[in-house]
Amino acid sequence: MNGGSPHTSTKGELNPVKRLLVAVALALAASSFPLADPSPAGEVLDQIRSTGTLRSPAPDIWPPQVIKNEKGEYDGFDVEVLREVGRRMGVKVEYVTNPDGSTVTWDEEVSGNWQGKYDIVIGGMTPTKKRAEHIAFPATYHYGIGVLAVHRDNTTIRTPADASRKRIGALAGSQYENYLKKVPPGIVGVPDFIYKIDDPVIVQYQHEEDVYAALAKGDGVEIDGLVNLLPAVMALIKEGKPFKIVGQPLYRVPHGVAILPGDNEFAALIKTIIDEMHADGTLKTISMKWYDFDLTSPE
């Protein structure tokens, strides 16, 4: 597919073959993203240990990665993984917001401009080379499968190619937006994607919930489709959202635990914990609980 460049408007802001997926895992394991030096080694970890608190930005609702349970508390795959990381560190997890009470945007999280507000992000962040200029990815905890979804009343978009030149919603700064822009993934061991949607009009949103709300308004009312993760779209459909998945998945990529570079001791500890959670089956168990299948393995 060699269509024109996608256009962007702003609103407030499957499967790869097993050989490829194994290559992804081996390449990620063999490589390390830079842990450059904005802070002395150990500074972040020292603060976490002294306060007994591991801080993370309050997440968008993004089922089944993030939901609110009957008690009004965060739960879901990403939440449970973070909770287990905190437990193994011997600290509690605290979700933080901006001083005005608003939630941190994805754009800020991927920029690395965290301003000392939080220590870690476990939120489906793809470890691209560009992001690794500002963020350290000490471990991969699961894999994301991107899909195109449309309103269930839509009858004209039957394949991803049919979404060419349509208005497609995506979280600003996300892998979904990059896919629509045909930005090479820039992930070690992952070749360029086969882009199935040409010249889309990309409609950016600052929060996941806003993307879902836009498509739920009706077929073609605000947007014609969205790109997101397969489990998220499946969960939304199960909840009653009027969506349907179009065709086969668009791509599959690793998702890493994100921290700021500079504290090598903290990075090493996170890698050890995630490696142990892979080895002892904890991550697989959490994945089966929330997805009904294992997304923690590249196979």
pLDDT per residue as tens digits for the range 256-268: 999 999 999 999 9
Q: pTM of the entire structure?
A: 0.74
Give the mean model confidence (pLDDT) for residues 168-194.
Answer: 91
pLDDT band for 234, please (50, 70, 90 cuts).
very high
pLDDT band for 84, please (50, 70, 90 cuts).
very high
Locate 63 and state its tokens.
Answer: 């089922």
One domain for residues 239 and 277: no
pLDDT band for 107, please (50, 70, 90 cuts).
very high
User: Does 41 have pLDDT greater than 50?
Assistant: no
Peptide bond into 64 cis (omega under 30): yes
One domain for residues 285 and 232: no
At 299 the pLDDT is 64
At 162 the pLDDT is 99
Q: What is the pLDDT of residues 117-132, one digit of tens each?
A: 999 999 999 999 899 9
One domain for residues 120 and 108: yes
Mean predicted lDDT score pLDDT of the chain: 88
- Written as one letter, the residue type at 256 is G
Higher-pLDDT residue of 157 and 253 is 157
Q: Long-range contacts for 278-287 (Cβ within 8 Å, ≥24 apart)?
A: 282/84, 283/81, 283/141, 283/142, 286/77, 286/80, 286/81, 286/84, 287/77, 287/142
At 191 the pLDDT is 81
Cα angle 254, 268, 109 (rounded to 5 degrees) comes to: 50
Provide the residue range defining the domain that includes 72: 43-142+254-291
One domain for residues 107 and 117: yes
One domain for residues 95 and 192: no
At 130, give phi and psi (nearest 5°): -65, -45
Q: What is the pLDDT of residues 183-223, one digit of tens each?
A: 998 887 788 899 999 999 999 999 999 999 999 999 999 99
224 located within any domain: yes
One domain for residues 86 and 180: no
User: Does 38 have pLDDT greater than 90?
Assistant: no
pLDDT band for 141, please (50, 70, 90 cuts).
very high
Query: What is the number of H-type helices and E-type strands within the chain?
Result: 9, 11
23 located within any domain: no
Q: What is the pLDDT of residues 67-83, one digit of tens each?
A: 999 999 999 999 999 99
User: Does 39 have pLDDT greater than 50?
Assistant: no
User: Does 4 have pLDDT greater than 60?
Assistant: no
At 9 the pLDDT is 53
Number of domains the chain contains: 2
One domain for residues 270 and 127: yes
Nearest of 233, 230, 258 to residue 243 by alpha carbon? 233
- Written as one letter, the residue type at 189 is G
One domain for residues 149 and 131: no
At 28 the pLDDT is 43
Given phi > 0 = left and psi -120 to 50 = alpha, else beta, which region is 89?
Answer: alpha
Query: Where residue 126 sits, what CATH number does that domain have?
Result: 3.40.190.10
